[in-house]
Structure 1
Amino acid sequence: MLRPLTIVEGSALTALQKKDLLNRLARVEGQLRGVQKLIAMADVPGDIEATAQQMAAARKALDRAFVQLLSGAIVTQSGNATDLEQARASAAQLAALLEKYA
């Protein structure tokens, strides 16, 4: 059995944001385990559509986690900025991540 992850306090995300993201990712992990079972048990052509549907749902859930990660970082890091210049630098860095990975 896996031990729960220790949530570290920091300035990237709040503890609540991290907890919410970890819960979302645990649900995605469960979806992926379900997809693995569907693939292992696929018997008739109709099983492929059901598997594809579940894979698409897992992909969408992971995409939502990505958006939640970046939006949480924007809110937290801009809120923690000590001045406008730091807020702008943080926003630029997060925008670059969005462009790179979205």
Structure 2
Amino acid sequence: MAMAEGQLKIIDGTALSAQQKKDLLNRLARIEGQLRGVQKLIALAAQPSDVDAVAQQMAAARKALDRSFVQLLTGAIQTQSANASDVDEARASAAHLAAMLDRFA
């Protein structure tokens, strides 16, 4: 992917809108920060209670990533349905996204 001033360049397409991409990228950047925090907690873990804190932060990051997956599919459904040239194309797109949900969720 192309970089623009330290950030990913968002390209036009029919998969997701530019705003949906921006929102997802912002969410993933926050998750990335959470994971860096988890890495620091692991490095500094010295007592059994520290493991509790690590587990709690890992669970929060996992939930945040799950929410971003739902956001991705929701955005794809909205955008691809709106961009479909006819009902059959919209149905095919919905079926493909439903299969992704079944496969990865």
Please say whether Structure 1 and Structure 2 have the same fold, judged by a TM-score greater than 0.5.
Answer: yes
TM-score (norm 1): 0.97
For 2:11, the aligned partner's letter is: V
- Residues 1:82 and 2:85 aligned together: yes
Structure 2 stretches lacking a partner, 5+ long: none
- Structure 2 residue corresponding to 1:61, chosen from 55, 61, 64: 64
Partner of 2:29: 26
Partner of 1:43: 46
Report the secondary structure of 1:95's partner residue.
helix
TM superposition shift of 1:82: 1.0
- Structure 2 residue corresponding to 1:95, chosen from 90, 95, 98: 98
Show structure 1 runs of 4+ deviating over 3 A.
none
For 2:52, the aligned partner's letter is: E
For 1:28, the aligned partner's letter is: I
TM superposition shift of 1:90: 0.3
TM superposition shift of 1:78: 0.3
Structure 1 stretches lacking a partner, 5+ long: none
Partner of 1:72: 75
RMSD: 0.9
TM superposition shift of 1:3: 1.4
For 2:51, the aligned partner's letter is: I
Report the secondary structure of 2:11's partner residue.
coil
Percent identity of paired positions between Structure 1 and Structure 2: 70
TM-score (norm 2): 0.95
